[in-house]
């Protein structure tokens, strides 16, 4: 796989405090690769360092140490910026402009001639679903509408790589669905998408690979299917035609829930394997309706890794409580 984006020991310290400023490490030695054409999720609780990383990639802040490259060139290189789209977190634009004027302005900065600016603005506002509001001043836009404008401006130059910071933020369920569909369309066009989120279901639905940050450190990264394949934590068995007493004898440790007449769902541990149990239930006249491994969700994986890393414990708890 060729890399669209790489970071090498990328570190950022901020100075905090007025009288006696001391360094605060927002990002600690991040080494990461994002493949060309993939949808890469950047996950972590609030304050994990996600936005700092994205700002470093956009050169809105400068690294304390380490380096980052996009499309084989150092970040900040104008040739790279021409092939890049960026949506900041909770974007804010100029109140006095309309959506159309804003996009035309940004298209001018991208070097497009006047007629092309208008065409692109119209097409993208249509794509993000706010064509009807294109002549409305941005001060009248809701948070969700501004988010859509933000996405539109990030796509003006038909970028090869887009960096979205919390793209679902402020969107209603329809908006979230639209953005998910948009990200998949971008992927299908061959565009690399890097997005940060603390909504794990978005990552689960969209990403091929993810990185998890906590306390400014990378605590896990890799292929999502591989990550979760190893996360099977037991089995779910649905059996019919036997009574509860038979089940209790055959599987004393299983959690049994009656779901209908002589029909039960059993939650089984990963060990021992269910082969013997299946034999016993069939011998007792039972009928096996289904047997499925119970996979851990990304949420389970996330919370466990954040906790085991011993960073952001409090934040992980807060995040868990908010679920």
Partner 1 sequence: MKATAAIAVNVFRESVRDKVLYNLVLFAILLIGASYLIGQLTAGQDVKIIKDLGLTATRVFGLFIAVFIGIGLVSKEVERRSVYSLLAKPIHRYHVVLGKFAGLALTLLVNVAVMGVALYAVLAYMGWNVDADVQRAWGAPALDPAIGKAVALIFVELLLTTAIALFFSTFSTPILSAAFTFGLFIVGHFSADLRNFDQVLDSPGAVFLARGLYWVLPNLAQFDVTEQVVHGQPVPAGYVAIAVAYAALYIAMLLVIATAVFSRRDFK
Query: What is the contact surface with partner 1 in residues (CB under 8 A)?
Result: 14, 55, 58-62, 78-79, 81-82, 84-88, 90-94, 96-97, 101, 105-106, 108-111, 150, 153-154
Comparison of 92 and 230: residue with beta carbon closer to partner 1: 92
Comparison of 83 and 307: residue with beta carbon closer to partner 1: 83
Comparison of 82 and 189: residue with beta carbon closer to partner 1: 82
SS3 content of the chain, % helix, strand, coil (to 5): 35, 30, 30
Comparison of 64 and 208: residue with beta carbon closer to partner 1: 64
User: Shortest gap between Cβ of 253 and partner 1 (angstroms)?
Assistant: 53
Comparison of 13 and 320: residue with beta carbon closer to partner 1: 13
Q: Report the chain's terminal Cα–Cα distance, integer Å.
A: 35
Alpha-carbon distance 71 to 36, whole Å? 9
Instruction: List the helix and strand counts (H, then E) for the chain.
Output: 12, 14
Specify the DSSP element, H or E, that contains 243.
none
User: Shortest gap between Cβ of 90 and partner 1 (angstroms)?
Assistant: 7
Comparison of 28 and 101: residue with beta carbon closer to partner 1: 101
User: Shortest gap between Cβ of 81 and partner 1 (angstroms)?
Assistant: 4
List, in order, residues 6 or more apart from 147 with CB less than 8 Å away. Answer: 87, 91, 167, 169, 170, 171, 175
User: Shortest gap between Cβ of 115 and partner 1 (angstroms)?
Assistant: 15
CA-angle at 23, arms to 20 and 27, nearest 5° = 160
**Complete DSSP assignment for 107-131:** HHHTT--HHHHHHHHHHHHHHTT-G
User: Shortest gap between Cβ of 96 and partner 1 (angstroms)?
Assistant: 4
User: Shortest gap between Cβ of 61 and partner 1 (angstroms)?
Assistant: 4
């Amino acid at each position: 796989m060729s890399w669209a984006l790489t970071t090498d020991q990328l570190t950022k310290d901020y100075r905090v405090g007025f009288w006696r400023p001391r360094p605060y490490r927002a990002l600690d030695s991040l080494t990461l690769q994002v493949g060309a054409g993939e949808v890469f999720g950047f996950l972590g609780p609030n304050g994990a360092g996600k936005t700092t990383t994205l700002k470093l990639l956009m050169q809105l802040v400068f690294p304390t140490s380490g380096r980052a490259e996009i499309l084989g060139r150092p970040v900040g290189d104008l040739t790279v910026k021409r092939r890049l789209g960026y949506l900041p977190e909770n974007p804010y634009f100029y109140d006095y402009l309309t959506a159309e004027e804003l996009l035309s302005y940004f298209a001018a900065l991208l070097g497009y001639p006047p007629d092309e600016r208008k065409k692109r603005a119209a097409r993208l506002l249509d794509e993000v679903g706010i064509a009807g509001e294109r002549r409305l001043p941005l001060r009248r836009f809701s948070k969700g509408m501004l988010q859509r404008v933000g996405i539109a401006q990030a796509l003006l130059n038909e970028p090869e790589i887009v960096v979205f910071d919390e793209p679902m933020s402020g969107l209603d369920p329809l908006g979230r669905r639209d953005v998910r569909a948009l990200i998949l369309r971008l992927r299908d066009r061959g565009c690399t998408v890097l997005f940060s989120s603390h909504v794990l279901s978005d990552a689960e639905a969209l990403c091929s690979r993810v990185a998890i940050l906590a306390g400014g450190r990378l605590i896990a990264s890799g292929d999502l299917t591989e990550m979760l394949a190893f996360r099977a934590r037991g089995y779910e068995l649905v059996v019919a035609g036997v009574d509860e007493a038979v089940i209790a004898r055959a599987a004393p440790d299983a959690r049994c829930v009656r779901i209908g007449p002589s029909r039960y769902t059993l939650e089984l541990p990963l060990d021992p394997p269910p082969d013997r149990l299946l034999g016993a239930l069939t011998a007792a006249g039972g009928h096996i309706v289904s047997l499925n491994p119970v996979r851990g969700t990304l949420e389970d994986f996330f919370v466990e890794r954040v906790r085991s890393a011993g960073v952001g414990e409090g934040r992980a708890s807060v995040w868990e409580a908010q679920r």
